[in-house]
Structure 1
Amino acid sequence: MRPPRAFTEVAPGRYRESRGLYYDEFDVGDVIEHRPGRTVTETDNIWMSLLSLNAHPLHIDAAYAEETEFGRPVVSSLVTLAIVGGMSTNGTSARAVANLGWEEIRLSTPVFVGDTLTAESEVVAKRLSRSRPDTGVVTFRTRGLKSDGAEVMVFTRSALIPCAGGGGAA
């Protein structure tokens, strides 16, 4: 019996969980749904806001936030980016040699404590690397979504990913 793609047989009857896809397994137009979702907590917002030195009172001062148009603290966009970016990693770049960067980060809807986020990534481009044999650059457009389907963020990210048989983390 051939093990499912998510596992590699390392000895007869013994399988190692493997994560991520090789460059060859991505096709432009593919959409990957990233699950499970993640409910944002007050602790997430306070810790990340303070860790990143983003001390804007809209994120960490409930009394201040009550007087704004939102009526409550807004989760820092750095928290949202960290959660959406992190949740997309396993499905897009778990085998990556390097993350090459983000572009066009857009924030479309505020996020509040208690919102549950999911994400999806579309493969928007791919090409073989010109400088590193046996690898390719895959570009993803990732959308962060609330459980009601509202888009909260979108960004483009590229990663250097090994070709099948070309190496990569086991």
Structure 2
Amino acid sequence: MTVGERVDPAGWQGRFFEDFEPGDVYYHPLGKTIIDADNQWFTLLTQNTAKIHFDEVASAATEYGRPLVNSTFVLALVTGQSVIDLTFNVFANLGWDEVRMPAPVFVGDTISSRSKVLETRPSSSRPGTGIVVVATEGYNQHGTVVIRYRRTFIVYLRAHAPVNPTPRPSEDSLPQASG
């Protein structure tokens, strides 16, 4: 951006169907360091009674010697990390396939993710949308892949996206920048 060039006041609008090309790779911008509360809350909210996620004594007796982070939390986290790049303009999520957890995740791990577009096609049943298939990997701070899966979703074509109903005040109502 050059001096004096304006930033679009509407901000990031996300990708639409026509923005996806097979072979595109997106490194999702936000990583997250998992804290004990993340694992405990998610495990308890989902009523997962596997002691390996919340019982320090029981998990100490396993080969890992400490609690494992709930794998469905990791799936939800990595999917959430991808929204900014993949499904900001989603019509519907169709599902996850081939979900694999090749390495354990522990409290203190920082999880980041990336996705590769595998396939795109217009939806034959929902005009104004298209179907996108991606391969996503989540990896820890050491670069070790901890989850991988294929995900299929329906996303709007730009011309058919719902209008954002959130009103925005005029830029004139903002205070002047100092400097």
Fold shared per TM-score above 0.5: yes
Q: Are residues 1:54 and 2:48 paired?
A: yes
Measured against aligned partners, the alpha-carbon deviations of 1:60-79 in whole angstroms (never above 9, x if no partner) come to 00011111100111101011
Counting only pairs closer than 5 Å after superposition, residues 85-164 of structure 1 correspond to structure 2 as 85-164=79-158
Is the alpha carbon distance of 1:96 and 1:45 closer, same or farther for their aligned partners in structure 2, counting shifts above 3 Å? same
Amino acid of the structure 2 residue aligned with 1:55:
T
* Counterpart AA for 1:28: P
TM-score by length of structure 2 reads 0.85
**Residue 18 of structure 1, CA deviation:** 3.0
Kept after mapping to 2: 8 A contact 1:61/1:73? yes
For structure 2, the 5+ residue unaligned runs are 165-179
Once the 2 structures are TM-superposed, how far is the Cα of residue 167 of structure 1 from its aligned partner?
A: 2.1
**Relative to total residues, which structure has the larger strand share, 1 or 2?**
1
2:5 & 2:153 partners in 1: Cα distance?
29
Residue 69 (structure 1) aligned to one of 38, 63, 73: 63
1:16-55 matches, within 5 Å, as 16-55=10-49
Output the amino acid matched with 2:94.
Answer: L
Aligned length: 161
Cα RMSD (Å) of the superposition? 1.6
Structure 2 counterpart of 1:63, one-letter code: V
- For the residue of structure 2 that corresponds to 1:29, the secondary structure is coil
1:169: how far off?
5.2
User: What TM-score results when the alignment is normalised by the length of structure 1?
Assistant: 0.89
Letter of the 2:12 counterpart: S
Q: CA separation in 1, counterparts of 2:84 and 2:53?
A: 29
Name the aligned partner's letter for residue 143 of structure 1.
E
Rounded to whole Å, the distance in 2 between the matches of 1:46 and 1:78 is 12
What secondary structure does 1:165 align onto? helix
- In the alignment, the residues of structure 2 paired with residue 23 and residue 55 of structure 1 have an alpha-carbon distance, to the nearest angstrom, of 40
d(CA) in 2 for partners of 1:22 and 1:163? 5
Please tell me whether Structure 1 or Structure 2 has the larger radius of gyration of its CA atoms. 2
Post-superposition offset of 1:3: 6.0
Runs of 5+ consecutive residues of structure 1 not aligned to the other structure: 8-14
CA distance, structure 2, for counterparts of residue 24 and residue 99 of structure 1: 17
Q: Name the % identity.
A: 35
Q: Deviations over 1:62-113 (max 9, x none)?
A: 0111111001111010111111111111110100111111111111100000
